[in-house]
Amino acid sequence: MRKVARSDLVTLVLGALSIGVGLTTAATVASLRSDDRVIALLATAIVAGLLVAYFDWRATLRNRLADPGNHREAT
């Protein structure tokens, strides 16, 4: 039997937490009027997009710091 790595456990917990937040957001949005629903979904989409951009930037920065000779010099 394979021993579960700590990173796998963190990934599973974060995945379950993300699903829980998504379901909570869906339940909250479903109870709003149509005008408020559009605003809430737009705000959620903006926050989700910003989070994706942040984590992409962070991964790029981490890769750059791990291998400093692998990026272009500023001109």
Q: What is the pLDDT along the chain (75 residues), one digit of tens a residue?
A: 677 777 778 878 888 888 888 888 788 877 878 788 788 788 888 888 888 888 888 888 888 887 766 556 555
Question: What pTM value is reported for the model?
Answer: 0.50
Which residue in 28, 12, 18 sits closest to 51, CA to CA? 18
The domains of the chain are located at 1-31, 33-68
**DSSP sequence for 1-48:** -PPPPHHHHHHHHHHHHHHHHHHHHHHHHHTS-HHHHHHHHHHHHHHH
Gyration radius of the chain over CA positions = 19
